[in-house]
Amino acid sequence: MGRQRFDQIKRFLHFNDNSKAKKPGEQGFDKLYKIRLVLGHIRSKFLEVTPEEHHSIDEQMIPFKGRSNLRQYLPKKPTMWGIKVFTRAGVSEFPIIEYTGKQLPDTHKLPTRWGRQRFDQIKRFLHFNDNSKAKKPGEQGFDKLYKIRLVLGHIRSKFLEVTPEEHHSIDEQMIPFKGRSNLRQYLPKKPTMWGIKVFTRAGVSGFVHDFEI
C-alpha cells in the first residue's frame, strides 16, 4: 500500500461519531471520545481474563511525544514523555532458569519466585571486573567502560568470529538510554534522541560485525 493511500485511509478512519462529540466546557466532555469505543472494547477483553489471586494497582506511562493534551512530562520516570495510565495488574510468576547451552535437570533451576530485595542484593554485588584496579579520571589508562570492558570485549570477539559479508557500512548507532551516565548524549535530529553512541561496522543484512563505544 502506498503512503498516500495509507494517509488517505487514516484521514477518514473514525471509531466514533465525531458530530456528537462534546466540546471542552460542555457537560459530558470526553478527551478520549474519538477512541472511547475502542478503549472500552479492549478493556472488556482484559476483564474477561480470569484474575489472579494478588493484584497491584499502579500508574504506567505509554511512551508518546506527539501532540496531545493528555501528554505528560515526568522527569523521574524511565519514560519521561507519555500518557499516564492507571493499571490493575496481576503478579505473574515467570521462571528464571540458569542457561548454560544444554538441558539441565530440575535441581539446577532457580526458584520460580524471586523477591525484589534478593534481586537488588545480587545486582548490587554483581561485578564483571576488579573495581579496585580501576583508574581514576585524569590518570593514564582511565577507561569509562572499565567495569564492563571484559564483557564488551567478549561480545565483540564473538561478532568478529562471524564470517563477514562482501559489502560493509560504517556508521554510528544510538543505544536508547535515559539513565545516569557521562556517556549519554542528546542528538535531537536522531530518531533515538537520548542514548549512548556506538560506531558500528555492519553488513548489508544489518548484522553488526564490529563496534566501538
CA-wise closest residue to 198 among 213, 184, 209, 187: 213
pLDDT at 92: 63
pLDDT of residue 103: 46
- Rounded to an integer, the average pLDDT of 93-100 is 42
pLDDT band at 100 (very low <50, low <70, confident <90, very high): very low
Contact 202, 165 (CB under 8 A): no
Chain centroid offset of residue 152 CA: 20
- Residues 69-86 have a mean pLDDT of 84
Place of cell 571486573: 129
pLDDT grade, residue 99 (50/70/90)?
Answer: very low
Pairwise pLDDT comparison (118 vs 141), residue with the higher score: 141
**Per-residue confidence (pLDDT) for residue 17, from 0 to 100:** 86
All residues at 6 or more sequence positions from 91 whose CB lies less than 8 Å from its CB, including other chains:
52, 54, 55, 56
> What is the per-residue pLDDT for 113?
56
- Select the more confidently predicted residue: 23 or 109: 23
Strand partners, 200: 171, 211
The fraction of the chain above a pLDDT of 70, given in percent, is 88
> How is residue 199 written as a grid cell?
560506531
pLDDT at 101 over 60: no
Computed over every residue of the chain, the mean pLDDT equals 81
Q: Provide the residue ranges of all domains of the chain, joining segments of one domain with +.
A: 1-49, 162-213
- Whole-number pLDDT of residue 30: 86
Q: What pLDDT sits at residue 102? A: 43
